Amino acid sequence: MSTQYQDAYLYDAVRTPFGKVGGALAKTRPDDLAALVVKESVQRAPGLAAAGAETIDEVVFGNANGAGEENRNVARMATLLAGLPTSIPGTTVNRLCGSSLDAAIIASRQINVGEADLMLIGGVESMSRAPWVLPKTERPFPMHNLELANTTLGWRLINRNMPKEWTVSLGEATEQLREKYGITRERMDEFAANSHQLASKAWDEGKYDNLTVQVPDVDLTRDETIRPDSTAESLGGLRTVFRKENGMVTAGNSSPMNDGASAAWLGSEKASETLGLQPLARIAGRAAAANDPQYFGYAPVEAVNQAIARAGITWDDISAVELNEAFAAQSLACTDAWGVDLDIVNTWGGAIAIGHPLGASGARVLGTLARRLEASGDRWGVAALCIGVGQGLAVVLENVNARA
């Protein structure tokens, strides 16, 4: 293990197909989903058979809820369930929707400063199996009824000192965001329909074959929420969800709730021999940003701008963008702010079609970005996510095998 600065590289990435809430993966525990992508990552690294799995310095996984079967540090649970040596440490990160991208950032820093040469990162979420929780009472033997809280998504058990404007629902926050930046219903539905069509096309063309692993004994061969027949016209007929009057956010132009897991190998240059793999991309820049909680969807704007600047490049150098699509409105607000051509954004589909299993999404967008750059031969790309409570996260990748 080096003690000098060293670059961090992404070597491989894999994920499960994403299931819908109550769908194909609903009967699979989240720790088992996480163990699956850990085990698959090891199997996809031919050098580890000789080097030994104990050469893995640490496992870092993202998870947003953590209140159910993934409790007790799911990174450690996944490592143990996958049969890896008990000597490998594991830690779980919670930055809500950005959790597994944060895992990649944390691991890359450890590699940069020489504390590690080989890190396995990823994330997992089962929104189907997220439990209801019963708060403890403030006094013993209460005589009143108690209310369960649903831990699947969004605010719960809210602190009474939190300003009301910050704690609106994610959908209402998106309505406020699209009002602020003048995003029309027509653009939102067109963006959403395009996501479905691009995701379906990418699966048909085999783009995800090397990025996914099937869940054993589950009939799910591709992401469950893709609807290839979606059009802007058909989505335009859906009713709004969060506002009865003057609303534009619908189930059709929002990401669904999902189950799934993702993982990726990060390492120094030395890790190539250990893994028996060649690096795909160098982590060249990274950043976190924050703004008012109700405008969480806009936070990736500054995060990406900072990450690009830290990589020493400009927007003119960027050829590929992977932006998690929590909502069409927030995606368009971000791309409008960047002035980026939508033709380079989520060209293999985004979360509106593929799904958004919170803790797993960051590693998904990062892995997809690396494979997109590999396929195109372009040099620079950026992966980013908006994060509930007003944060954004971004990572710039440099394709180490880019065209001259």
Known active-site residue 97 = yes
CB 68 within 8 A of CB 130: yes
Q: How far is CA 164 from CA 150, 159, 387, in A?
A: 19, 10, 18
H or E element, residue 150? strand 149-150
> Of the residues 97, 144, 196, 334, which is catalytic?
97
> Of the residues 144, 196, 334, 356, which is catalytic?
356
Q: Is 133 helix (H, G, I), strand (E, B) or coil?
A: strand
Residue 261 has phi, psi (to 5 degrees) of -145, 155
Residue 149 has phi, psi (to 5 degrees) of -115, 135
Interior angle at CA 58, CA 308 and CA 31, nearest 5:
100
Q: Is 365 helix (H, G, I), strand (E, B) or coil?
A: helix
Known active-site residue 386 = yes
Distance CA 386, CA 141 (A): 42
Which of 303, 198, 322, 190 lies closest to 248, judged by CA? 190
CB atoms inside a 10 Å sphere around CB 374: 16
Which of 125, 81, 120, 131 lies closest to 99, judged by CA? 125
Which residues participate in catalysis according to the annotation? Answer: 97, 356, 386
